[in-house]
Amino acid sequence: MPCPAMLLVVFSTVSVLHSARAQNEPRINASDHMVLSLESHSNPPIILQCNLTSASSNHKESYWMKNGEEIAGTRFKLKLTEYKLNKPRPDDAGEYMCVYTFEMAPDANATIEVKASPEITGHKRSDNKNEGQSALLYCKSVGYPHPVWTWRKLEGGILMDIENSSGRFFINNKDNYSELQITHLDIGTDPGEYRCNATNIIGTASMVCILRVRSHLAPLWPFLGVLAEIIILVIIIVIYEKRKRPDEVPDDDEPAGPMKTNSTNNHKDKNLRQRTTN
């Protein structure tokens, strides 16, 4: 069994090493996390600030990152560095980070979260498909943290949750994007109003996508229409011809023409004669 004194020595050495490392680690005093409340049209500018308050090694430069990517034009040799959002918009929400680089030590950083309620900035307004085909509806958002997405369908005035992989419904979420795929479209049950819902800890937003499903005969309709027109036309012509044929027999005979005019002339002559006799 190890003696208690030896354990104590080991423990205190570890804690001394630990505190020495902590002292050497650079310290950054950064702005607090914040929430963008974008109610009005002219939001006041927001300044994100980091201050390197202690470091064991000389620092080289500092820069800013947003959502894991360096923001161009932010590299300076400053201990106190600022990033200004002049006109904050929903897509300014995200995870900001100031990074300090050193001559003899690894980089140090601090994170400032700028949170905002989701806002849906793009969506499929409507999709028109034939029965049996697949439909794809989607919504895109800005805001931070990335929302939790759900899809619902309006059924008799009630929004019903759509379950992923419940046979024909597939939901695919990628941070600020969500899509709903519906396969083997059913003309009886699938058309209607679908609603994507994006919710994070700050707020919620939703948007409507309309799905229309046509009968699979639909592509044939123009052709069937023309065919129906031709058939009706043919029937009309046949009936017309059949009814008219007996009357038209003399008309078809060319020599009958002059005879007809003669008869009317004779008639006129008769009238004339009648008038003269009166």
From 112, 116, 205, 209, residue interacting with ligand NAG (rule: CB under 6 A): 205
User: Rounded to the nearest whole angstrom, what is the least distance from the CB of residue 191 to ligand NAG in the complex?
Assistant: 21
16-34 burial, b for 16+ CB within 10 Å, e for fewer?
A: eeeeeeeeeebebebbeeb
Using CB under 6 A as the binding rule, the residues of this chain from 115 to 144 that contact ligand NAG are 121, 140, 142
By CB under 6 A, is residue 43 in contact with ligand NAG?
Answer: no
149/171 Cα distance (integer angstroms): 9
Beta-bridged to residue 129, according to DSSP, are 213
From 144, 197, 200, 213, residue interacting with ligand NAG (rule: CB under 6 A): 197
Stretch that binds ligand NAG, among 166-174, 179-187, 245-253, 259-267 (CB under 6 A): 166-174
By CB under 6 A, is residue 23 in contact with ligand NAG?
Answer: no
CA dihedral for 219, 221, 222, 224, sign (positive or negative) = positive
Strand order in 126-130's β-sheet? 126-130, 204-214, 192-199, 148-155, 158-161
From 35, 74, 199, 212, residue interacting with ligand NAG (rule: CB under 6 A): 199
CA angle 132, 138, 144 (to 5 degrees): 160
Instruction: Pull the structure tokens for residue 3.
Output: 């003696």
By CB under 6 A, is residue 186 in contact with ligand NAG?
Answer: no
Alpha carbon separation from 247 to 46, 119, 219, 241, 243 (Å, rounded)? 95, 78, 45, 10, 8
User: Rounded to the nearest whole angstrom, what is the least distance from the CB of residue 156 to ligand NAG in the complex?
Assistant: 18
Phi, psi of 265 (to 5 degrees): -60, -40
Residue nearer to ligand NAG on the CB measure, 129 or 140: 140
185/194 Cα distance (integer angstroms): 14
User: Rounded to the nearest whole angstrom, what is the least distance from the CB of residue 80 to ligand NAG in the complex?
Assistant: 5
By CB under 6 A, is residue 265 in contact with ligand NAG?
Answer: no
From 43, 74, 133, 173, residue interacting with ligand NAG (rule: CB under 6 A): 173
Using CB under 6 A as the binding rule, the residues of this chain from 87 to 106 that contact ligand NAG are 91, 99
216/133 Cα distance (integer angstroms): 9
By CB under 6 A, is residue 58 in contact with ligand NAG?
Answer: no
Residue nearer to ligand NAG on the CB measure, 68 or 222: 68
Start-end of H helices in the chain: 4-24, 221-252, 256-277
User: Rounded to the nearest whole angstrom, what is the least distance from the CB of residue 13 to ligand NAG in the complex?
Assistant: 24
Provide the binding-site residues for ligand NAG, judged by CB under 6 A. Answer: 29, 31, 49, 51, 53, 80, 91, 99, 107, 109, 121, 140, 142, 150, 164-165, 170-173, 175-176, 197, 199, 204-206
